[in-house]
Amino acid sequence: MRSISCRPRPTTRRQPPRPLPSACSSAGRALRPNLAACARNPSIASNPMVSPKHVCVIGAGVSGLAAAKAFATRGHRVTIVERSSDLGGVWEPVRSYPEVQTQSPKELYRYTDRAMPDAYPEWPSGPQVHAYLADYARSFGLDRMLRLDTEVAGMERRADGKPGWTLGLSDKNGTSKEDFDFVAVCTGQFNEPRELHCPGEDAFLAQGGQILHSSKYGDSALAKGHRVVVLGGSKSATDIAVNAVKSGAREVTIVMREPVWRIPYFIGGLVNFKRILYIRAQEEMFPGWGASPMARLAHRIAAPLVWANWRGLESLLKAQLKLGRCNMVPKERIEDGVNCSVPIATPGFYPMVADGRIKAVFSTFDHYDGDSIVMSGGERISADVAVLAIGYKLGVPFLPEAYRQKLVDADGQYRLYRLIANPDLPELGFVGFNSSFCTVLCADLAANWLVRYADGQLANQPTAQAMRDNIEMMLHFKRVERPAAGVYGGLCVAPYHYRHFDELMADIGAKNQKRGGLAGRFSPPDADAYAKFLASAPDYQATA
C-alpha cells in the first residue's frame, strides 16, 4: 500500500579485516577457491591504472553480498557493515513471518555464479533462502569481511582531501570513525519498516491490543484465538491473513485501499507465470524509454493486439481467482499497473475471501476506539491484533542532507544513472536499488557494473553530463510517459528486465549480451547465461 492514513511519525572500535590476497594470486585462490574471476581465467592481468581501494559495503543482504563479492574479485579490500546480528537482510530469520517464500522461482532468484540447491522447491521458503545466502558468503570468504551489529551513524567527505568518505560506525563498544575510498550502499528498499500511528492507539494497547509491523509477525501463536486485522494489499499482507486463518484466529480481516491484480503461481492452473510475465516478448508490449519515432509507430500499429493480450489475461485471472465472487475485480487495467508492486496471489487467499474466512474491507485505518479500529469510511472492526503490512521507508538517512538533495528529488524520485550511480555523489554507488522480480540477478549485475564504474573500467564509461542527461530522460519517462514506473521512488526495473540488463551488459562491454532466436524472446532471464555474458567482458585486476 503506497499511501496510508493517520499520521506517520518520523522515525569499541573493531579492527578492520586484513587485506585479502589478490583474488587470482595463489594465496587468493587458496582462500576463496570458487571466485568466478579465477575460475574462468586464472591469469587475469593486473591493471596499473586501477589501484586497490578500501571499500565499505553497507548491508549484508542479497545486494551487499553481491557487491562485496564483485569488489573483492577485482582485488579491493572490502568491509561489510551490517546493523543486524546476522546476514540475509529481509531473509534474516528474525525478520521473516511464518511460511514466507519467494515470489520468484528459484532459477530467477539466484546469483550468476551459484544456483540454488536442486532439492529446493520452485519457490523456496525463507529459511532456505537464508541458508543459500549464508552458504554463498562462506563459499566466497564474504563472512570474513563482515562486521555484524554495526550501524552507520553518519558519513562525510574525507577531511584529508583524499577521495572517499569517512563513516561514523556504531557498535556495542561505541562510535568510531573510519575512512573508505569507496562506499556501496546496499540497504535496498526493505530496510526500515514504515510506521503508522493513529489516534487512540495508546488506549488500544493499554487494554491488551497489539500493533505490529508485518516484519514482527514472527510467531503464528500471535493469531490463535484472536481477532486479527491486517492493513495492506501486498503479498505479505495476504500471506499473513492466510496464516492467521490457518493458525486458528477467531476472525481475520484484511484492509486495503482497493483491489489489485495478483498473479497466481500458475496462470490458468497450468502455465508457470514466469513463462508469461518474465519474457522479452511480453516486455516489448510496453512502450519503453527513448523510443524512436519508428518504434512508437510500430507500437501504435500493434496496439490492438497488445490490448487483446491484456484483456485476455484479465479474463483468465477473473475466472481462475473468482474475483467477481470475491468482489475483488480491480478497476485499473492490468498493463497500467505492472511494476514491482504487483503481488503474487497467496494460495488460499481468494477461496478464504469467497467463503468468508477472510473479510476484505476497502478502506484505511482512521483511529482506534476501545477494542475496535475505525475505518476512514466509519466502519468499525473489532480487533485484538493489528498487523501493519505497509512496507518500508525509502531513504539513506546516514547520507548528509546536502547530498540527499542531489540523490532524491522533491517528489521522491531517485536520481540514479542505471539505478546505480549519481555523478554528483563521488565514490558512492547503490546496489539493489534496481528492484525487480529478479532481485538477486539484478543486484549481481548491478554490482558487476558498479565495480567497473568505480574503477573507470566500463567499456561505455559515461561522462558526468551524459549521466545527468540520461537521468533527466528517465525521470521524464517515469513521471509523464509511464507513471507506474515511478513506484518505490522510480527504483523499479519491472517490467523492463531485459532492457535494463541489455544496458548493463553493453556498458560492461560483454561481447555476448543476449540470447537470440525463440529462446531469447520467450524464455525468462537465465542466470547461467548472464554468467557467460559477464565472462565475455574485458577482465582486469587492481594492483598496488
Give the C-alpha distances (Å, rounded to integers) separating 5 from 200, 368, 376, 388.
14, 12, 8, 12
**Residue 312: its pLDDT value, please?**
96
Q: What is the pLDDT of residues 427-471, one digit of tens each?
A: 999 999 998 889 999 999 999 999 999 999 999 999 999 999 999
Collapsing DSSP to helix, strand or coil, 343 comes out as coil
Which band of pLDDT confidence, cut at 50, 70 and 90, is reported for residue 42? very low
Q: Which residues contact 122 (CB under 8 A, 6 or more apart)?
A: 105, 106, 265, 272
CATH placement of domain 195-392: 3.50.50.60
Query: Considering the domain 49-192+393-542, what is its CATH architecture?
Result: 3-Layer(bba) Sandwich (3.50)
Question: Bridge-partner residues for 382, per DSSP?
Answer: 372
Q: What is the pLDDT of residues 82-111, one digit of tens each?
A: 999 999 998 999 888 888 899 899 999 999
Identical fold between 49-192+393-542 and 195-392: yes
Average of per-residue pLDDT across 37-53:
61
- Extents of the domains making up the chain: 49-192+393-542, 195-392
Question: Bridge-partner residues for 381, per DSSP?
Answer: 373
Cell numbers for 291, please give them. Answer: 523510443
Cβ count within 10 A of residue 154 = 15
pLDDT of residue 411 exceeding 70, the answer is yes
Q: Give me the residue label for grid cell 484483456.
A: 311
pLDDT of residue 166 exceeding 70, the answer is yes
Average of per-residue pLDDT across 359-379:
96
